[in-house]
Amino acid sequence: MQDFVLLVLDTGKTVIHMAFYILLPIMVIMMALMRFLERNKVLFYSARLLSPLLFWFGLPGIGAFAMFQITLISFAAPLSTLSMIDKDEQIEKKRIAATLSMIFTMSQANSIFPLIPAGLNLWVTLATSVGGGLIAASATYYFFTRKEKHNPSDQIANEKPYHEEKKPGNIEALLKGGQEGVELSLRSIPMWMIALLAVNFLKMIKVVDLLEKLLNPLFHFFKLPGVVILPLLTKFFAGGTAMMAVTLEMIEKGAMTAVHLNKIAGFMIHPFDIVGLAFYASAGKRTAFCMKPAVKGALIGILFRGIAHFLIF
């Protein structure tokens, strides 16, 4: 029992340190910037400009905004956009599935930016994120979904770009974005702490060590240390934020290097995990219905990203 209490305290220290000294400042600045760009309609016109191109990848015009949200804010940010798409009956289910698949494949800001000081290559990660997202969307739209009989909006002219709400002013937009960054950081602490505690408990009872020994020959073949099983395991069971905390701790202790991080980044930095699946299924009934084809497309997109990172690094 004493060991468990000490484990809880150590986990709490790690989470509080990461949340307040790494995640919080980054999220405040990125959210403020996002709201500033939103207030000045930069994102609105960018979405309109990209709409004709994204259309051929199976995405609705508003899908560009979801792409900006996950890249600049966090894995949770595109939920509002996905909910809008879900409620718009003019947008067919094929495009909802393609949008969901793209979101599952792309890298989320709340994992990318805190890992940059640890050596993550930003530009390669962003490039494979966009490329993998478009591949996943295309595969979902053209191969994993059925064409609907009634398709009144399957024309570029009918695509509805994101509708910008009026904001009171630039200063207010910056302050609102900063406040949202604080709220998002604080809201992530309970889930982060519970998930990280579960992973640390598995370490304490030697389950992680057992998996490391079993998979070590496979990782050795790819010139990776067996300890990378820990962030990968954390990612798919506890989500990207918990994975980020584990990865930062391992790099700080010297168990992983920046090269190892970049090699597995394509397989690890995206919202496709148990937490993400449950989170996005709540966007609406039509989105939940599109989950199966979206998962198939996301697997292809993530495979592309993983191979690309491995070959580059």
Tell me the per-residue pLDDT of 19-75, one tens digit each, with 9 for 90 and over. 787 667 876 876 787 778 778 877 678 777 888 888 899 998 878 888 888 988 778
Domain count, the chain: 1
Structural domain boundaries enclosing 75? 2-312
pLDDT tens digits for range 174-194: 888 788 778 767 776 776 777
Give the angle subtended at the CA of 20 by the CAs of 34 and 194, to the nearest 5°.
105
Greater model confidence, 14 or 13: 13
Asked if the model's pLDDT at residue 85 lies above 90, the reply is: no
- Outline where DSSP puts E strands in 70-118: none
CA-CA distances (angstroms) from residue 129 to 125, 238, 271, 293? 6, 21, 11, 19
Average pLDDT over residues 306-312: 93
Provide the whole-model pTM.
0.76
CB-based contact 114:248 (threshold 8 Å): yes
CA distance 68 to 78: 8
